[in-house]
Amino acid sequence: MSIEKLPAFESFPDEDPKLSRLIKWIMLQIYQPLSRKMNFIINAVANGRVKTTTEATTTYQILITDNEIFANTDSGDWTTTLPLSPVEGQSYRIINCGSNVLTIARNVENIVGLAEDATLSASGVVILTYNATEGWW
């Protein structure tokens, strides 16, 4: 039997319950998580770049090399600051994975044309891309 033809783990015969449980455990604990990680790596390489993921739990200065920022605001409201010298086309995906408010400090450039900081409520997500022609995120 080739690997491509393996049945789904739910369909293994139950003649040997210990073997069936072992196969299910291997599928759930090893194969599926590894498969997800490999797909992530393959997709990142295929798209020409590997994205960096940052987790922050307190005031954070976003770096030019960041891509995704997971902001855990469970301990309270706090602020993350956009880079001082953004690069044309640079995008950030900011995820508030906590229960409080995250403030996104604009630094020098405007956010959506406004000279104001932005706020991101609990469980909110925003993608900001810098446009040098407009001079704002």
Q: What is the pLDDT along the chain (137 residues), one digit of tens a residue?
A: 334 444 444 555 556 777 777 777 676 666 666 656 665 565 555 555 567 788 999 999 999 888 899 999 999 999 999 999 898 889 999 999 999 999 999 998 999 889 999 999 999 999 999 998 888 88
Residues 59, 125, single domain; the answer is yes
Residue 7: give the domain boundaries: 3-46
Residues 72, 106, single domain; the answer is yes
Cα-flanking dihedrals φ and ψ of residue 66, to 5°?
-75, 155
Residues 79, 110, single domain; the answer is yes
Neighbours of 94 (CB within 10 A): 24
H helices of 1-137, in order, are 17-26, 32-46
Residues 30, 95, single domain; the answer is no
pLDDT at 7: 45
Residues 38, 103, single domain; the answer is no
pTM recorded for the entire structure: 0.64
Domain count, the chain: 2
Q: Evaluate whether residue 124 is within a structural domain.
A: yes
Q: Which helix (H) or strand (E) holds 60?
A: strand 60-61
